[in-house]
Structures are given as structure tokens and as C-alpha cells.
Amino acid sequence: MHYKYLYIIFFSIMFSQSFFNRILPGEVYEGDAKSMAIGNSSLTTSYGSGVIISNPAKILSFNESYMVDLNINFNSLSERRSIVFKDEWEESLGETDYVFNQNNAFNHSFGFFYQPSLKKIKLGIGIASKPYLSFDYNYDEEVRGDSNLADGIIGINDPVIGFHSYKTKGTMDVQSVGFSFSFNDFLKNLTFGLGINRLKDTTVNDSVKLSVIDSYYDAMNLANITDFNNLYSISGDTFISIGIDFKILNQLILSASIQESVLISDGTELDFFSNSISNYVGLPQFFDFENEELVFTLNGFYLDLPEKKNIGLLYTPKSNINMNLIFELTNRYFKHDVSVAGIDYDVNEYKIGFEYSPMNSYPIRAGLVYSESVFNAVSPKSILTLGTGIGFSKSITMDVALNYSTYNYKYYDILPLENIFDYSCDVIDCDTVTENNLSFLTTLKVEF
């Protein structure tokens, strides 16, 4: 029986929070608000500082000699955990939520572009600094006991007796410098770009804390776990991104880019991504039982960030309608020595979107993203994108966008009272975890 109720509100520099961020950190969106609105199309339609990573060929996409951009993001993530409730004859009546998390957070990034005046070539230079990876996860669990009140006695049958807290925390920033060039006399339709991206060193903190606020009642619903607070120093590294834009026709532009894989680690040689997968639920497992005590099994950090290959088309129909249509495909490949059941090391993301700009009005932007999951036990995720923009002058623009996504999966109780990790969800009725993510991004660009 569950005696758990949860309500959390917290603020963090990063917008992404997921239980699995500890071994597979969440990525911050690379593009600007315009590209986010058009199906997260950072390869083909982004013109902000994030292109140094996603497609450095786009560094030449602005018109003046200088450009500064600022991106501000707000994200709200809600997580619900549901269990099957039964009647006194053990017949299933449906599902009910017993945990609800709502997390609101902000982050920001900025960049600077410069385009010198040269005769034979067009050259663009860009620098940027932004958050890139999030290890954050917060879980505070309200634990209730049983007062066994006699009939006629007024009181609470399930008083709060304590709290379980499990947290991981860490942010890895990236500093980027990029170059883009094209020739004025020949190969005019080709633009090349190179980005050099340095992931900064950071720390990751894991902690579990058991708090007892009322020792009068039986503590039978408190997990048998010892408090800990572990800190690991994670070393970043440098990775290269290469991009190309090819104007096939006046109405059609082909874009492609590649981001190389990079290792981030605290010196540990164990690949947690592959070695932490549960044989029963097909998802990472961070806790286990040893001698009837609940313990945290992760020690250190090791991950080869996947190699990314991107290809996309930007099509502008030849008509009086001012419209752009895009299609992008992103492939992520995770390096591995041994394949583990339940993990897809080669996953794709499909993006479609459009922008319609009526005369003397605001542009209408929308898109759809279909993203395959690394874990076979988690269904693919669909993301709906919307947005618009405004030009205050020829040199100052502001774009806004929103993303909404939802997905669910089956998983164990995070801090169980007994060893349930040796059973499948068919036996123990795992929680149904539902995550809903709503994200807003605003980009301000100034050219001069």
C-alpha cells in the first residue's frame, strides 16, 4: 500500500528535469525562438548564436556587420505518478495519481556575430555561451503513517511522519566559437561552417536525506536507507561541429551538419548508461537492496555524448504567398562496446514545420517533432511547436515560441519499502509516470 503524497515547486537555472538525467543528461535546445516555433528546426531556420553547434554555416545569415542575440527560456515540467487502486476483493478499479511534481525554471544564453568586409569571400565569426546539459532531478516524498484511531475519535488516520528526499544536481555549460565562409566569385551557392565547442568542467551532486518530523508513530513506512551526499568532478571536453548550406534552387536550400561524439566523465571507466539497465523494466535503475537495506548504486559519471548527424530542406514556394516549409532529420548514435537489451543506440528525430508571413501582420509559425526514445520501454515522444515574431525596426527583432510534449512509461517506486527490483511490472503493478513539458523561448536580436 502507498502512503505517499508529493507536491514540489522549485526554481533552477536549467529547464530540463527527468529522473534519468543522472546518466543521460537533458540537452538544452540549441536554436533560437524562430526555429523552435518551426518544429525545432535549428539546422535550417535558426539564425542565433546556437547555430555554432547546430549548423555553423548559418553564421553568415545576418545582414549587417554585427549581431548580438539574447535567449531567455521558461519551462514548466509536471510529473505525475499513478498507481492502480483496487477494491477489497483485489479487483482493479482504475488508476489514481499519488504523486504530482510541478517544476518551473529559467535559463538564458547569449552570443555575438561579426561579419568583416572582404572582397573575394564572405566571412562570419561567432562566439556564444550557454547552458548545454542538465543533470538535475529533485524528488521530495511525503511519508505518512497509521494512527489506528478508535471509532469516534477525531483525528488523522494517516499523519505525516517524515520525508524522503532524493536529488541530483549539476549543470554543464558550453562556450563556442565558430567560423563561416562562402566565395563571391565561384561556388556562390555553397556556404561552409566550422564550430569549436568547449564543454566546461562541472560537478554533479547526488544526495538522499531521510527526515523524521514525528517519531510518535510507527516508522514502518519510512525507507531503510542511510543518508548520503556525494560530489563528483566531471571533466568536459571539446567537440567539433561542421555545417554546410547548399542553395539548390532559388526556392530550395539543403542544409547538413555533423557534431562529433565527446566523452564526459569523472575518470570512472564504467559506462553507467549501459550497465544500469534493469532486466525487468528495461530502464535505468539507480537503487537496489543489499542486506535488506536500500542503497544507491551509482558511483561517479561516464557518458559518451552521441554523435549527431543532421540533414534538412528549406523550401520557399514560388508564389505570392510568403511561406517557408521545412523538413529535418536528426540521427543520434551512441558509442558502445557491448549492446544491452532495452537500449536503442541509433535513434532518429523527425521535424516538419512552416512559417507563413502575411503582409502587414505577424508571422504564423508551427511544427511537429517525432522523437524516438533511447529506451525501448519508453514510447516515442511527439512535440507540438508554435510561435510568432515582431520587428521593431530593420535591425531589431523579437521572436517567441512555445513547445508542448507529453509521454509516459512504467517504472518502480523510487524509494520502495521492500525489494521490488527483482520483479516485472506485471507482478508488482509499477507506477505509471506521465511527464508534461511546456516551454517558452524568447529571442531578441540586434544587428548594427
Q: Tell me how far apart the alpha carbons of residues 441 and 76 are, in angstroms, rounded to a whole number.
A: 12
pLDDT in tens, 110-157: 999 999 988 889 999 999 999 999 888 888 888 877 766 656 665 566
What's this model's pTM, rounded to 2 decimal places? 0.88
Residue 388 predicted with pLDDT over 90? yes
Q: How many CB atoms lie within 10 A of CB 130?
A: 23
Share of the chain above pLDDT 90, in %: 54
Residue 102 predicted with pLDDT over 80? no
Residue 3 predicted with pLDDT over 60? no
Residue 163 predicted with pLDDT over 90? no
- The number of distinct structural domains making up the chain is 1
Residue 7 predicted with pLDDT over 60? no
Host domain of residue 64 = 4-447
Beta bridge partners of 402: 386, 440
Cα 118 versus chain centre, distance: 40
Q: Is the separation of the CB atoms in 298 and 135 below 8 Å?
A: no
Q: What pLDDT was estimated at residue 175?
A: 96
Q: What pLDDT was estimated at residue 10?
A: 27
Q: What pLDDT was estimated at residue 8?
A: 26
Query: If 0-12 CB within 10 Å is exposed, 13-18 middle and 19+ buried, where does residue 189 land?
Result: middle
pLDDT in tens, 74-96: 878 788 888 877 666 666 667 77
Q: How far is CA 124 from CA 51, 56, 183, 376, in A?
A: 12, 9, 12, 42
Residue 11 predicted with pLDDT over 50? no
Q: What pLDDT was estimated at residue 9?
A: 26
Q: What pLDDT was estimated at residue 152?
A: 60
* Mean pLDDT confidence for 34-62: 94
Q: Tell me how far apart the alpha carbons of residues 81 and 350 are, in angstroms, rounded to a whole number.
A: 29
CATH number of 167's domain: 2.40.160.60
Q: What pLDDT was estimated at residue 344?
A: 92
Distance separating the N- and C-terminal Cα atoms of the chain: 64
Which of 8, 41, 15 minimizes the C-alpha distance to 330?
A: 41
Task: Write phi, then psi, for 361 (nearest 5 degrees).
Answer: -150, 180
Which of 262, 294, 319, 275 minimizes the C-alpha distance to 413?
A: 294
* Mean pLDDT confidence for 187-203: 95
Q: What pLDDT was estimated at residue 5?
A: 31
Residue 364 predicted with pLDDT over 90? yes
* Mean pLDDT confidence for 342-371: 94
pLDDT in tens, 261-317: 999 999 887 776 667 888 899 999 999 999 999 999 988 899 899 999 999 999 998
Q: Residues 6 or more apart from 377 whose CB is under 8 A from it?
A: 281, 282, 283, 342, 409, 410
Mean pLDDT of the chain: 87
Q: What pLDDT was estimated at residue 311?
A: 98
Q: Name the more confident of 132 and 3.
A: 132
